[in-house]
Amino acid sequence: MSTKFFIIFQFFIQIAVLQKPFSLKTDDNGNYFLYVDGNLWLGSAPTFFRDSGQLFSAGDGSLKLFYTGNEVGVDKLGNFSTRDYLYRAGKKEMFVSIRHYDDPNFLVFVQNYTDGGNGTKAESFDEIISGFPGFRIEDGVVDRGYLSFGGYMLGDTNKIIGKWGNKTKEIRDGLTGGPLVIFDKEANTLIISPLTEFMVASNWHDKEVGGNIYWGIMGGVDTVPHHYTYLTIVYYAKGINKAFDGWGKALKKMYGSKENSLAQDLTLHRAGYWTDNGAYYYYKTEPMKTYEETMMNLINKTVNTFNYFQFDSWWYYKGLSGGVKLWEPRPDVFPHGFGYFYNHTYSLLALHNRYWSKDTTYAKQNGGHYDFIVEKSGALPIDQKFWNDLLNKTLTWGLVMYEQDWLNVQFNRITALKTNLTLGEMWLTQMNIAAKANNVVIQYCMANPRHALQSLTLSQVTQARASDDYSPGGEQWRIGVSSLFAHALGIAPSKDTFWTTETQPGNRYKKSEPYTRLNALVATLSTGPFGPSDMSGHMDFDLINKTCIYYGQLMQPTKPATAMDVQFIKEAFESTKIEVWSTYSVNMLNDTALHWGTILAVDTVGDVALEYSDMEFLVPGVSYAVYNYNDPSSIREFKESEKLVLPNNCTKTDFCLYHFVPKMNHGDNEIYLLGDISKWVPASSGRIRSIVYQEADLLINLWGAAAEEITIQYMLNGELKSGTCPIKTTGFNCISMLTGKCVY
């Protein structure tokens, strides 16, 4: 091949690459560039590794590139080709590689301490010992915004949304940092996050060198074994929600889906009563009564509503610095113990736990029977038998969910967790093994993003708190963004508890709750636990029943409600904060899946117009109608050329809620099934179990309780109708969409 022909060939190859929606360009000097729609979005920052107390960087030449190459391979994500670079850091070899898969929507960046490392730690825990990939933070020809998760509660408490470029001042990083999302006004989106080694991987915002962002191993690690490997994923999609969905699918392809675990989690499908921070009975009982008496009285009054009770940190023994000394019910709280309580109430339990005290009686250092790491500020179990024994004893307590709270504090208190490459993963894995052996699911609370990502590998972690603790009248209902993160990982986001009535006499917070309806709605749309926490005798059961049927069975959507793309774009580019979320319910018409969509809007400002394409739950080829939840008679056909214009007065007390209904045809009949409009989610599969097309009829298969009357709203050939079906025995009953009558 002539040199001229080769140059022309390479030119056309490069043009073809850059015409793809997402593409990579590399050179022989170790540089790499990410393009979106042919425009440069991210250019590489110098690769670096730490070893022998020194930072070796490609930027100053101390990290020396001596080999470039290409390979092909296959892993759980598919077939890939690579661009490889081999460096020398002093006398050590360090390897990095970029994997380009058959699926063009993502890349994987690999870093490997080929010869291991000693003296690798950085100046702080929040820095990193290795940097690849790294990208310059700079303006480009396309305006971009970003979302950076940080803090606890899945990185919700310190997340930031803003404009990407030379003026970007803050990216959440270090031990509490999380995935980084970069997007433009057309919702082209990149998500960058760890793909492996979640408990030790960090990102680091180096503000000193022109503003670079790196991914690598956390800064406290001082020794690295030979060939220790860490992977970062960069995922592209057109659409912020679509990017999260695709990124999550790639992660779950790597580690496996947890759909079965979620389906078996009773606390995600039945209403419970909660006593955590914000609850009426948080560190408070009825006058002159123990907690045992208070809870037994409450159970007797709510036996047909709540299937389990969550008991928070008020029941076990605390030690130094407020940590757990002994995870047993105190006799002044439950004089007869949990076994007695369960045998007399038959109520299942969700039990809280926190970080371990340095004087915990379980540790061998304190005369106990189990191996612990004990440090000045706390302790950490490192013994599988400890977790097995701890959860095995709960078999007589009726435990169904173990809530591991204060994850961020446990991580921060134990230095070994911040310096050891395997300890964090071992800690959470041992907990999971014991939970699985005892048929218990786990909720994570106060989880940093690293804990949330590690849950991908843990079958029993089915849910995680997506907001800070409930505070009456507070803002912790704003979970649309963190729910997007949780759902991508295959875990249900928890909104936390709430009050169903505004006034709770004698409450310890001296507050009221003016947004009871919004809190109840968000808890429903979250698909996480639904757990009111009112004073006995002060519950609004009409409000609770907008979510529940048949002994607390929940009527929820199929997926959590998540912030729509327009919410991110408005905040990043206009500094306008609104809440616009969407979700959907799936029901089967014979073998065809139909989607019923829902949009919630709160705190809208100005006219927000949603395009047909913005509503990703709308299935191509299916016609839809839309109605305002408060007015079913407002139902109208929603055409592809139309926009849904949200009013600028959607508030916390008067929020805007819209439902989208797919059209079904039966002969010459056009039918829109609204469903049970007495519920927040009228077409939930909790009520509508299937739709059966017969030659002479269209039957809706309903689930209800004995003596319940179910009224279904539907539009038949342009006329709004209803049909009421008395349920004789608990189970399935049918109603005809052509006659509105029950079919037994």
- For 197-245, the pLDDT digits (tens) are 999 999 999 998 779 999 999 999 999 999 999 999 999 999 999 999 9
**Spatial CB neighbours of 621, under 8 Å, sequence gap ≥ 6:** none
Going by pLDDT thresholds of 50, 70 and 90, the confidence category of residue 10 is very low
Q: Torsion angle, CA of 216/218/220/222, rounded to 10 degrees?
A: -30
What is the residue-averaged pLDDT of the chain? 95
Tell me the two tokens of residue 476: 């912790």
- For 502-516, the pLDDT digits (tens) are 999 999 999 999 999
Which pLDDT value is given to residue 593?
93
User: Which pTM was predicted?
Assistant: 0.96
Is residue 268 within 8 Å of residue 277, measured between CB atoms? Answer: no
671 pLDDT higher than 90? yes
CA 73, CA 81: separation in Å to the nearest integer?
A: 6
2 pLDDT higher than 80? no
140 pLDDT higher than 60? yes
Is residue 467 within 8 Å of residue 482, measured between CB atoms? Answer: yes
Which helix or strand (DSSP H or E) is residue 3 part of? helix 3-18
Q: What angle do CA 392, 396, 401 make, to 5 degrees?
A: 65
500 pLDDT higher than 70? yes
Report which of residues 146 and 5 the model is more confident about: 146
- For 25-72, the pLDDT digits (tens) are 999 999 999 999 999 999 999 999 999 999 999 999 999 999 999 999
Which has the closest alpha carbon to 491: 517, 460, 462, 528? 462
Residue 516 DSSP class: H
Domains in the chain with CATH codes: 18-253 (2.70.98), 259-546 (3.20.20.70), 562-743 (no CATH)
Going by pLDDT thresholds of 50, 70 and 90, the confidence category of residue 20 is confident
Going by pLDDT thresholds of 50, 70 and 90, the confidence category of residue 744 is confident
Mean pLDDT of 600-610: 92
Which pLDDT value is given to residue 209?
79
Which pLDDT value is given to residue 19?
66
Which has the closest alpha carbon to 312: 281, 279, 272, 352? 352
Which pLDDT value is given to residue 304?
86
Report which of residues 80 and 17 the model is more confident about: 80
- For 688-718, the pLDDT digits (tens) are 999 999 999 999 999 888 888 999 999 999 9
Which pLDDT value is given to residue 310?
98
Which pLDDT value is given to residue 352?
98
Q: 3-state class of 548 per DSSP? A: strand
Which has the closest alpha carbon to 625: 564, 570, 682, 706? 682
Report which of residues 9 and 612 the model is more confident about: 612
Q: 3-state class of 188 per DSSP? A: strand
Mean pLDDT of 365-374: 98
13 pLDDT higher than 60? no
12 pLDDT higher than 60? no
CA 207, CA 333: separation in Å to the nearest integer?
A: 52
